[in-house]
Amino acid sequence: MKKNQTKTVEFTCVAPEAKSVFVAGTFNDWKPDATPLHKHLPDGKWAVSLALAQGRYEYKFVVDGQWCCELGCEGEYRGCPKCVPNEFGTMNRVLEVR
């Protein structure tokens, strides 16, 4: 990928009972309401596609106002894929865009 080019990346979260899901991370200054996901019925999967430049990003989902690395992975590390500890004692997801 050439410098300044972007790649479309899809963020997904399965939260069938959620009323709202957002993604917040280093790509949007951790703003919890800046990037909403859209629900795909009936499977309960929420998704959004973003154009991101090459680099390393950390992010979390905000499900009905609650921050989580991935549903079921709240709190300390519990074997969640591609997660790293953050300064708050919880986990962030990691994404490498190449």
**Domain parsing of the chain, residue ranges:** 6-97
Mean pLDDT of 42-53: 94
Mean pLDDT of 39-52: 92
Mean pLDDT of 39-47: 89
pTM (two decimals): 0.87
CA angle 51, 97, 58 (to 5 degrees): 90
Between CA 96 and CA 94 the distance in angstroms is: 7
Q: Which residues contact 85 (CB under 8 A, 6 or more apart)?
A: 77, 91, 92
Which residue's structure tokens are 């969640």? 80
Neighbour tally for 34: CB within 10 Å: 14
Between CA 82 and CA 35 the distance in angstroms is: 21
Which of the following CATH numbers is that of domain 6-97: 3.60.150.10, 2.60.40.10, 3.30.300.30, 2.170.190.11?
2.60.40.10
